[in-house]
Chain A
Amino acid sequence: MRLRLEDVTAEIRPRVPWESIDLGCALACRHIGAIWKAWLITIVPLWILLALLLWNHPFWFIVCTWWLKPIYDRVPLMVVSRALFGAVPTMKEIIKVWPKLLVRRLWFALVIGRFSPSRCLSMPVSELEGLKGPAYRQRVNLLERNGGEGATSATLAGLVLELVAGLGMVMLVIWMVPSEVSERWFSGIGEFFSYYDWTEMTDGFLWMIALVRLLSFMLMEPFYVSAGFALYVNSRTLTEGWDIELAFKRLGARLRKMREGKLTGAHSSVLLAAILGLGMLLFTPNVQANNAPQDEIAEILAEDDFTVHHRIVEVPKESSNSSSSGWLGKFFSGLGLPAFMGFVGTMIFYVVLVAIIAGLVWLIVKNRHIFSSGAALASDAQAVKTREVMGMNVTPESLPDDVAAAARNAWGQGDYKLALSLLYRGSITWFVHRGQLPIEESDTEGDCLRRVEEQGQHQYAGYFSGLTNAWILTAYGKQQPDDRTMGSLCENWPFSNVKQERGQR
């Protein structure tokens, strides 16, 4: 379908960016019904399909629906762009075009151009003009000279307004429900901020977030796209002189009408002209013209005013800098950065961006305790294999070959604490290195016993419980167990020699 500039339904004139955005919003307002109808028959079924596919993964549904925004934007763009030229597309036309809109240039729309800050301005170039590659980049760079910053502002404002719209909807619903229910909802919203990650959220809660997000998309995207389109039109008006072209076209049309009007009155005037001409021939003297008109014209044209002056201005050669940065320029222009920033500006932009990201990463790392559970407050100095428990060295190398014999020997010599310490240390060493028990350096005797029992090592749990009691009594109660108990602990020593096993391996 060919759109004619003279059919445009808005006043085409050079505008500042905010005026263009205003025009875009007015356009969206005027055609919002058509836009939403088109949205309902194209985007909503797509959402339903996505929801069915990702029914058990609401978080990913939210991510997908957000990521696909450039696809949705094609629908309001189609409606608004045609509506500007007085040809609002019918539902039939939209349905016919939708499959093509859905799959066209997905890689570019969803990956390369997805995060362009001036996406709303560059989108008509790819979608309406169908430009690709260097031609697209050149065109976008040209158009962004007049409105690139406006498009970036529109993107930022769109983000904020989308959030506001979402929150507004939630608040509106909360105000409508009884206070008992709304209080519960408020506490639910409060809990939202207490989640450490999205996996803690319930599916119902995530689906509610998804619904609010979709409604806010539906509400805000038409305005965002329309604003971008108006910026695009304005940029073209400035660069291509649409307003002048339009003025000339209108002038031409008026003159054509005037000419046609003269022709219709010709019959009545022919006779009058003939009579007047005859009369002039009969009654005027035969005057011979002194100067032919051609001579007079030549005389006038020879005057200084009509002399064409030529001035040759040397175009400065491009510096080596710009040539060396050609690949960079191309790279940056592909990312949709406004061309007005220039090479140096672009470099500064990226340096600042990298600095901000690095700063954020540093802040997150520095304050990681905020995002982690309380356990992260503990010391980081935790070896892969614990070397010390309760101040005792629990490496196999620190133990004698025969722990039970050494303990018996120490007991015989009256060193009760050493005897029990050997047994206790030997058992902990076995649990750490052989039993793969995750004992930490901060674990107390009770913690160790609990871990042994929880790990299900029942054949050792009974012995270890008795040993722990004896050890606690000796270490903290300053009371040694009787000979019978100690003898039993040495005789029933159930643990193999970790050091020997290591040596054999």
Chain B
Amino acid sequence: MTEDNYQPTESDAPEEMSTETSSAGGLCQQIYGELRKVFFGQDHVVSQVLAALLSGGHVLLEGKPGLGKTHLVLALANTFGGNFGRIQFTPDLMPTDVTGFTLFDMKSQTFQMRRGPVFTNLLLADEINRAPAKTQAALLEVMQEQQVTIDGESMKLEPPFMTLATQNPIEQEGTYPLPEAQLDRFLMKVIIDYPDQVNEEQVVTQVTAAAGAKGLNAKSVEQVCDPQTIIQAQQQCAAINAVPEVVRYAVNICRATREAQGISLGAGTRGAISLIQVGKAYALMNGRDFVTPDDVKSASLPVLRHRVQLAPELAISGQNIDDALTGIVSGVEAPRV
């Protein structure tokens, strides 16, 4: 099983594919192509983030500092002309710093609304685990409801809305780890690792080519569509067909995580829902209007790795969650059609 390089392609696109699906697949290829111009050597990250955007989900990005997380989000926002907001989470960050607040204007003698950074299309919540639980909860509520309530007034967020929260796997001291229930709100957990030698050299060369190391600018990507097109693509994604056998396969995978030895917490029903959601996105990215078991299998690692917990004895033995999940998924029978 691999999560790598599940890239938008037309290679397995059926000839009878609907026009909408075909155009959405083409759009994905365009966005993917633009992102790859400024983000090298992390193709699986690009495809997973794109799948999350098409599914209307949120992403938890985990990677060491300096691997281009902000760069990716900014470039993605530029590809569809969306707004980009960023919050650097710190221990003293308040919920109102995220959502916004009302302020009494002495001059006009009225309360004025100050909208927080969540009022955007793409929100980068940098180092989300550095803020206390209360502030995290405020953001996670926004992610879930896609609306903000300030002083009793509810405001819908402008779609498409997607949060990309980052976590630093090192320097865990003094952080507030996200509880499992809140981690479940993220559609995917994407791991950003170091690029390989060739790609890293390419990044260094291109970044240092401009004054002040401003090369490889995220703003250099071309806008290929507008936010409305993304919303349409999301609707098309939701309309992708998943036969009952494939749905059963996704559910079986999640159930297997609950029954597996060495797993103390398995994936819930939302895990299976997310598997199908991402499977649909993968199908759309590949120009298909139906989900295959391969789509679900490929989605299993990024979708489930933050929803399951290793038992202490397995964690102590040095196994990581990806190894455990790979083993579990390889033990689930492929669908019976």
Contact = CB atoms under 8 A, between A and B. Distances in A.
Interface of A: 193-196, 367, 369-371, 373-379, 388-392, 421, 440-447, 469, 472-473, 475-479
Given A478-B243, A478-B290, A193 B12 contact: no
A376 B327 contact: yes
A477 B241 contact: yes
Given A370-B314, A374-B326, A476-B337, A444 B331 contact: no
Nearest to A475: B337
B314 to A, nearest CB: 6
B314 A369 contact: yes
Interface stretch (B22-30, B78-86, B159-167, B291-299): B291-299
Interface string B207-235: 00000000000000000000000000000
A447 B317 contact: no
A18 B169 CA distance: 50
Nearest to B294: A446
A391 B323 contact: no
A473 B317 contact: no
Contacts of A373: 319, 323, 327
Nearest to A473: B14
**What are the nearest 7 A-B pairs in CB distance?**
A391-B336, A378-B331, A374-B323, A194-B318, A377-B327, A374-B327, A446-B294
Given A367-B313, A374-B325, A444 B334 contact: yes
Contacts of A367: 313
A377 B334 CA distance: 16
A473 B16 CA distance: 10
B122 interface: no
B116 interface: no
Contacts of B333: 388, 390-391, 441-442
A371 B323 CA distance: 12
29 contacts: A195-B318, A367-B313, A369-B261, A370-B317, A371-B317, A374-B319, A377-B327, A377-B328, A390-B293, A390-B333, A390-B334, A390-B335, A390-B336, A391-B334, A391-B337, A440-B330, A442-B329, A442-B330, A444-B293, A445-B292, A446-B294, A446-B297, A447-B297, A447-B334, A469-B12, A472-B12, A477-B289, A477-B290, A478-B290
B288 interface: yes
Contact of B337 (A390, A441, A443): A390
A226 to B, nearest CB: 38
Contacts of A376: 327
A377 B291 contact: no
A472 B241 CA distance: 13
Contacts of B291: 476
A5 to B, nearest CB: 56
B332 interface: yes
A312 B308 CA distance: 81
Nearest to B262: A369
Given A469-B12, A476-B246, A374 B324 contact: yes
B260 interface: yes
Contact of B290 (A371, A441, A476): A476
Given A369-B262, A445-B294, A476-B290, A375 B16 contact: no
B335 A378 contact: no
A370 B292 contact: no
A476 to B, nearest CB: 5
Nearest to B317: A370
Nearest to A390: B334
Given A370-B262, A477-B14, 5 more contacts: A370-B314, A378-B330, A391-B336, A444-B297, A477-B290
